[in-house]
Amino acid sequence: MTAPFVTQLRARGTALQLAGAGEPTITVRVEMPEVWDTVKAVVSPSQSVLALKTAALAALYPTGDPVGDFVLKHQGWEVLDASVSLAAAGATDGSIFLLTHRRRRPVR
């Protein structure tokens, strides 16, 4: 099996490792337009969306606002229930998520 295209794209540092040893894994990409940066994460499909959101936010925006002030989108739609697994949210190997502020912010 070949690696998905998303693994070849530029991302910050090393991939976030959120899967336990021996678990099946998928590689996803989380983009945050506020900081113009991305992070790659190796996760288990059974991992919760909230765990990915929290880890990506800690990596991309460590001194920022609380997790509840941000929304995680997949294929253009907000993932409304962060307690569901990534697989239940529709994530597959190579999926791209968008992490952004819940409310629009003024440009300064």
- Number of folded domains in the chain? 1
Residue 17 forms part of a structural domain: yes
Task: Quote the pLDDT of residue 25.
Answer: 93
Residue 107 forms part of a structural domain: no
Residue 84 forms part of a structural domain: yes
Which string of DSSP letters, residue by residue, matches 16-69?
EE-SPTTS--EEEEEEETTTTEEEEEEE-TTSBHHHHHHHHHHHH-TTS--GGG
pTM (2 d.p.): 0.84
Q: Tell me: the pLDDT tens digits for 2-26?
A: 556 655 666 667 888 988 888 999 9
Residue 106 forms part of a structural domain: no
User: Are 7 and 36 in contact, with CB atoms under 8 Å apart?
Assistant: no
Q: C-alpha angle with apex 6: 69 to 81, nearest 5 degrees?
A: 35
Q: In the predicted model, is pLDDT for residue 52 greater than 70?
A: yes
Domain interval for residue 66:
5-101
